[in-house]
């Protein structure tokens, strides 16, 4: 337990040194950019504002404010974004099938790499390489489970999808 804590402090200390360079924090999985980045050592969080952008290998996100929660290893556990949130998540579903989810909302939470929750004027556009066209879902609240490949939309739901030719 003590070794994990020391590793976490080392990661966070390295991150703090990185923050001395204005507007960019290098995380184990990607890069966070913003005018202001604050670290809360007691909660293992980074809060970035205004207008932060996050670039991960399979995810891009922008918002007015973003809070990133790190686990004990220093990896990203959860991302919460608010204010004009836009994002793009790319998944490889099988050997030759790629899926891209683009979305917008007032608030968004990405838990791990699997659960995406959108609230307030939410919309998600899904494009798959094995299908023609895209699907567009609009609702007050959208929950996507990217691992189980399920979607639940609530409140004034609209669904648009292309029909096969």
Mean pLDDT, rounded, for 105-132:
88
| pLDDT at residue 127 tops 80 | yes
Q: Cis (ω within 30 of 0) for the bond into 50? A: yes
The answer to whether the CB of 12 falls within 8 A of the CB of 25 is no
The phi and psi torsions of 72 (rounded to 5 degrees) equal: -65, -25
- What span, in angstroms and rounded, lies between the C-alpha atoms of 125 and 103? 6
- pLDDT for 29: 75
Instruction: Note the Cα 70 to chain centre separation in Å.
Output: 13
Average pLDDT, integer, range 1-26 = 57
Given this model, what pLDDT does residue 156 score? 93
Q: Which two tokens stand for residue 114?
A: 């699997």
* pLDDT > 70 fraction of the chain, expressed in percent and rounded: 82
Note the pLDDT of residue 3.
55
Distances (CA, A) of 16 to 43, 154, 164: 15, 40, 52
Instruction: Give the pLDDT band (50/70/90) at residue 141.
Output: very high
pLDDT band, very low/low/confident/very high, at 22 (cuts 50, 70, 90): very low
Specify whether the backbone of 57 is left (phi greater than 0), alpha (psi in -120 to 50) or beta: alpha
Task: Tell me the pLDDT of the chain averaged across its residues.
Answer: 83
Residue with tokens 């007032």: 106
Confidence tier at 138 by pLDDT (50, 70, 90): very high
Complete domains list, the chain, with CATH:
2-161 (2.60.450.10)
Cβ distance 98 to 90 under 8 Å?
yes
Digit-coded pLDDT (tens) for 34-91: 999 888 888 989 999 999 999 988 889 999 999 999 888 878 889 999 999 999 988 8
State yes or no: pLDDT of 28 exceeds 70. no
DSSP secondary structure of 33-101: E-SEEEEETTTTEEEEESS-EEE-SSEEEE-SEEEEEE-TTS-EEEEEEEEEEEEEEEEE-SSS-EEEE
pLDDT-derived band at 20, boundaries 50, 70, 90 = very low
Q: Are 107 and 120 in contact (CB under 8 A)?
A: yes
pLDDT at residue 10 tops 60? no
């Amino acid at each position: 337990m003590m070794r994990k804590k020391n590793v976490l402090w080392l990661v966070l200390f390295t991150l703090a040194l990185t923050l001395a360079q204005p507007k960019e924090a290098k995380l184990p999985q990607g890069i966070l950019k913003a005018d202001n980045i604050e670290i809360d050592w007691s909660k293992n969080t980074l809060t970035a504002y205004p207008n932060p952008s996050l670039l991960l290998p399979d995810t891009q996100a922008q918002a007015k404010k973003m809070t990133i929660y790190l686990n004990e290893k220093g990896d990203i556990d959860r991302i919460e974004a608010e204010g004009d949130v836009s994002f793009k998540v790319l998944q490889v579903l099988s050997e030759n099938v790629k899926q891209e989810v683009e979305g917008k909302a007032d608030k968004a939470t990405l838990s791990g790499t699997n659960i995406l929750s959108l609230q307030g004027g939410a919309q998600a556009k899904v494009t798959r390489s094995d299908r023609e066209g895209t699907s567009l879902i609009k609702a007050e609240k959208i929950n996507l489970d990217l691992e189980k490949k399920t979607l639940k939309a609530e409140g004034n739901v609209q669904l648009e999808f292309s029909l096969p030719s």
